[in-house]
Structure 1
């Protein structure tokens, strides 16, 4: 089974840095394969809790090299919930890559474990016959401190359903649960990786310098 690795996150950072410099990113230092995957960018400024800055991926299997290359940029620049990431934000970013595994149909909307399972929900709105779907990665519910019901209800809203959420509706939801392996790296750790393995840090026009792996405070 393919698992998320440090080199995969490095490749995502390489891809985003190359976008800003106009250069070609170095080749990936991991083997290709086929898996569902996601790339998540968060921004941690002034010691605050990292905030989501972009997260896009695929629930279908695809080649992981091209997948990480595409979704590193798509999640950073074209997540419609956020403005595109700018080069000056690089020193504040952390990146997480997720490889999705172990898809299973749940018996009902409660048949999953917080912190272990990601969820895909599918349902048809009873008032309009409109089909809805949404997903959360395994770490979301635990990070937010949600119960099973709170997670499902949040997913229903994410899927675009705005009417009252009833127990009858919850019982009609098809839930697919899955697991993932993930790897997270801050930009400062990425710079340290480059210095150790390539002998130089990236030079980005418009990006503040990184000292000892962290952006200087002002």
Structure 2
């Protein structure tokens, strides 16, 4: 089933439509082959060798069906299939996607910029966050977590709510982002989907 490419948000990017389409094709192929315990032949995809972190999000009828990704930058032709299979089969919030269900799934890929630590007084952190553009990462003694930029926009959160939700995702107290030992990073994404 061929799906058309849709680009979300106009954002600056070095990735052309050809490479975006190729990554979406690779993600779908990787999931389909995983049902047969096979992997795609990556030779065809090696021209998409940019190293970035990425997340693959799966939707069925606009409902989240799985989302897994990796912050650490690696060649996308290696990272995208790994994230796609993990989102389809190993996101423990959902039952695994089935072979018959795959044609009903829409694939979305988020490519991450390198995270930058937000520094200064934690009370000023919300002023440094642009809702819908910045994703967040928290690292504390008690846990860590990540939320993509679109999560805050889809939930109509302000920056304080976004930071509190990030803490919840990490399994730490809602105000942990204000603690001295806690580090908050922000990043941007290039998002595209079928």
The residue aligned with 2:190 is 181
The residue aligned with 2:178 is 171
Q: CA RMSD in A?
A: 2.1
Contact between 2:115 and 2:185, CA under 8 Å: does it hold in 1? Answer: yes
Count of aligned positions: 170
The residue aligned with 2:132 is 115
1:88 is the counterpart of 2:100: yes
The residue aligned with 2:7 is none
SS of structure 1 residue aligned to 2:45:
coil
- Offset, 1:102: 4.3
Cα deviation digits, residues 73-125 of structure 1 (max 9, x gap): 1111001111100012123211111111142211343121000101001223x
Where in structure 2 are there 5+ consecutive unaligned residues? 1-12
Where in structure 1 are there 5+ consecutive unaligned residues? 45-49, 125-130, 186-218
Q: Distance in 2 between matches of 1:41 and 1:95?
A: 5
Contact between 1:7 and 1:29, CA under 8 Å: does it hold in 2? Answer: no
**Structure 1 length normalisation: TM-score?**
0.71
Q: Distance in 1 between matches of 2:167 and 2:33?
A: 37
Q: Distance in 2 between matches of 1:142 and 1:113?
A: 10
- Offset, 1:138: 1.3
**Structure 2 length normalisation: TM-score?**
0.79
- Offset, 1:31: 2.2
